Structure 1
Amino acid sequence: MSTDAAARTAAGQNPTPPDTRTDNSNPPDLGKRLIKLGICAAITLLLILIPAPAGLTPVAWRLFALYIGVLAALMMRPFPEPVIFFFAIGTTGVLLSGNEDVSVKDLLGGYADPTAWLVFSAFFIGTAFAITGLGKRIAYLLIRAVGSTPLRLGFVACLTDLILAPATPSNAARTGGITYPIMRNVASALDSEPGPKGRRIGRYLTMTTYYASFATSTLFLTAIAFLPLTVKVIQEGLGLEPVTWMQYTTYALVPGLVMLFIVPVAVKIMDPPELEKVDNKAIGQKGLDDLGPMSRREKWLLGLFIAAILTWAIGSFIGINANAVAIMFVGMLLITGVMSWQDMVNDKPAWTTFMWYGGIIGLIGTLSNVGFFAWLGDLIARYINLSGWPWVLVMIVLVVVVIASRYFFASGVVYAGSVLPILVAIAAAAGVPAWPALMLLAMVSIYGGQVTHYSGTLSPVLFGTGYVSQQRWWAMSLAMALIWAVISFVVGIPWWAALGLL
């Protein structure tokens, strides 16, 4: 797939003409898909046949078995995520019908969860930045103003992603669809194509933009789709109240910004570009000329975006719900004509994410209701005794475990639903202070996912350009993850102490 096609795919656009076939009743790979689904069902059945462990009710054990089958399906991908959850919720509801502890209403409760609607709404806001061209305009203005050297262009990539991150819960759409295509065009303009000329500046801009995306994703609940789910799993495991948008951003602000602004410098040290000067004025002006004058839709979007950010920032102080603000923002986009209803209907990533997001929240919530996670925490506390360890040492071990385990997961959702609850239970059993545990685990869940070229939707898009070899990609990405781990402790803990969280 070409770079442009990959970027369009990441942004939720179809790089090829739509399939006009009307008979899709028997796709050619249906047999293979059903075999994979059968394997997942067999895993569930084997677990159901095992007696429930002591302290866990039979219905909780059966629900856990079904949940493991869902996680296996998410890893093996016999069908897209929404299909898996449609089938899983229906199957669970049928098999557990008549049980007082589990109802279909509980299983569907995730679709009424405020965080699902926050992510759903933010997807449309991110789409508005793409279709109006405002995201590109911001980037070219920054390039023209300050991008006179490779290092400064690296900071432009960071700042562009930072500005777009609060309203774009898909780093693939944000970085792969807006920020990186611009940086890729800059590299082409400077005669730095993949291959021997990649070292001129293209490789540097690729890796800087990649790491910038993960750094900005740690800063806002709405900056990457699975972060609200991750925070919810940790918050429930530690017995904390629901985390607000402003709470999370305040706690992540200082360590997250340090992570972000160290990116261009760290990449320059690890892989210095050959170019020293950039004709940023000409590149930036050409990009702005191609966009033309600022449109009415861009002006409306800019005004609404600023209003939303301000309301999110002060909402907790004046009693305005952040999720309601996001939904109202989308309503205003429709009323002002920034987007049409058809634009929303065509935004497949938003609808897809909402369907799997609500499904997994419903399943996890139901598991929590039947006491599974409380049982898991007690079990870990009984067999893993870390009570004598300093809590900082416990968290260092858990952060390293997260980074190491992400080599085995191509999905942050699967990781959040499988490994994370166990790590949360270990932190709780070891007596780690709740808020530092939440922030350290939430942030490493994001930046730990950058270590491979298959760790999410964005990674293969940028890796596929051919600027960076797999060996270099893995080595640099592991180094960056470890640098950020150090920052999260050295900068994060004093910041959280200053905020009274310790």
Structure 2
Amino acid sequence: MTWGGWALAAIVPGLVSILAVPWVLYKMYPPEVKETPEAAAQAAAELKSLGRLSRNESIMTGTIVGLLLLWTLGDTMLDMSATTAALIGLGVLLVVEVLTWDDVKKETQAWDTLVWFAALVMMATFLNTLGLIPWVSNQMSEATGGMNWMVAFVILTLVYYYSHYLFASNTAHISAMYAAFLATAIATGAPPLFAALVFAFISNLFATLTHYAAGPAPVLFGTGYVSLGKWWTNGVVMSWVLILIWTLIGGGWMSFLGIW
């Protein structure tokens, strides 16, 4: 599986998703304000009224740019983790007094997200450590043994997709279940490259399910604009839309490419 092969296999269902997902979500959960023709003029006027960058704004801008570079290159060039880079950025802002510790403490949503998201990640890790995820993988292997590979593949992909309700991280889910489910699918007769790509696609798509499904989700949910019930409802409906697109259009496109 190469980068180019992945991109080629995903481009058609990906483009369809880019068009379909916002439209479906717009119909399900329409915005309160649908037209803002004056927004550009208001933004330009507000920006003009702000004047030139202040000292603190310039330091903040430089720090953000520096963090982006460290998050992008720090791991490979400096052996620096993203967490270390973030702490350095926070330390710089505190030392030069762009931020005070009181400013940090006031970010209650950030602290709230940090605490419960960390607990969810820990719980997902222990599901694997204590044997639940390997047990599920073994059960699926036994349940699909002897089935027609297409039937088995549908079952395996659906279980893999919706088991993400148990995880607070794409990486944790992939680490725990990707290899086991892929091996099971191949054992039932599924084309290896096709199976590897489908599970790889799902490993991105299931990030829409819940407010803790992926790294950005808790931050977006923490803004408070979408209720928990609405998020989960939209998440499950969007999963049906994505499964339909990537099964019919994606499957047809990969068949055309000769992947299966």
Over residues 188-229 of structure 1, what are the superposed CA-to-partner deviations in whole Å (9 max), with x where a residue is unaligned?
A: xxxxxxxxxxxxxxxxxxxxxxxxxxxxxxxxxxxxxxxxxx
Residue 402 of structure 1 aligns with which residue? 160
Which has the larger helix fraction?
Answer: 2
Over residues 293-323 of structure 1, what are the superposed CA-to-partner deviations in whole Å (9 max), with x where a residue is unaligned?
A: xxxxxxxxxxxxxxxxxxxxxxxxxxxxxxx
Residue 386 of structure 1 aligns with which residue? 145
**CA spacing shift, 1:397–1:355, aligned 2, 3 Å:** farther
**CA spacing shift, 1:428–1:279, aligned 2, 3 Å:** same
1:399–1:485 CA contact under 8 A, matched in 2: no
2:183 and 2:226 mapped to 1: Cα distance?
Answer: 38
2:231 and 2:140 mapped to 1: Cα distance?
Answer: 38
Q: Does 1:417 align with 2:140?
A: no
1:288 and 1:254 mapped to 2: Cα distance?
Answer: 41
Q: SS in structure 2 opposite 1:453?
A: coil
Residue 128 of structure 2 aligns with which residue? none
**CA spacing shift, 1:439–1:287, aligned 2, 3 Å:** farther
Residue 204 of structure 2 aligns with which residue? 446
Pairs aligned (count): 189
Q: CA deviation at 1:392?
A: 3.0
Please identify runs of 4+ aligned residues in structure 1 that moved more than 6 A: 287-290, 353-357, 379-382
Q: CA deviation at 1:388?
A: 3.4
2:170–2:207 CA contact under 8 A, matched in 1: yes
1:471 and 1:382 mapped to 2: Cα distance?
Answer: 34
Write the mapping of 1:116-135 to structure 2, written as runs, cut at 5 A. none
Residue 86 of structure 1 aligns with which residue? none
Structure 2 residue ranges without an equivalent (≥5)? 49-61, 83-137
Residue 233 of structure 2 aligns with which residue? 475
Write the mapping of 1:62-211 to structure 2, written as runs, cut at 5 A. none
1:403–1:449 CA contact under 8 A, matched in 2: no
Percent of matched pairs sharing the same residue: 29
2:141 and 2:177 mapped to 1: Cα distance?
Answer: 19
Of 190, 198, 205 in structure 2, the residue corresponding to residue 432 of structure 1 is 190
2:140 and 2:229 mapped to 1: Cα distance?
Answer: 39
Structure 1 residue ranges without an equivalent (≥5)? 1-242, 291-338, 358-378
Residue 248 of structure 2 aligns with which residue? 490
1:451 and 1:382 mapped to 2: Cα distance?
Answer: 25
1:287 and 1:443 mapped to 2: Cα distance?
Answer: 43
Write the mapping of 1:354-369 to structure 2, written as runs, cut at 5 A. none
Of 337, 347, 369 in structure 1, the residue corresponding to residue 70 of structure 2 is 347
**CA spacing shift, 1:348–1:388, aligned 2, 3 Å:** closer
**CA spacing shift, 1:255–1:479, aligned 2, 3 Å:** same
Q: CA deviation at 1:484?
A: 0.3
Residue 272 of structure 1 aligns with which residue? 30
Q: CA deviation at 1:427?
A: 0.6
Q: CA deviation at 1:281?
A: 6.8
1:255–1:491 CA contact under 8 A, matched in 2: yes
2:21–2:241 CA contact under 8 A, matched in 1: no
Q: SS in structure 2 opposite 1:347?
A: helix
1:402–1:448 CA contact under 8 A, matched in 2: no
1:385 and 1:251 mapped to 2: Cα distance?
Answer: 26
2:211–2:228 CA contact under 8 A, matched in 1: yes
TM-score, normalization: structure 1? 0.34
Amino acid in the other structure paired with 1:478? V
Q: Does 1:286 align with 2:44?
A: yes
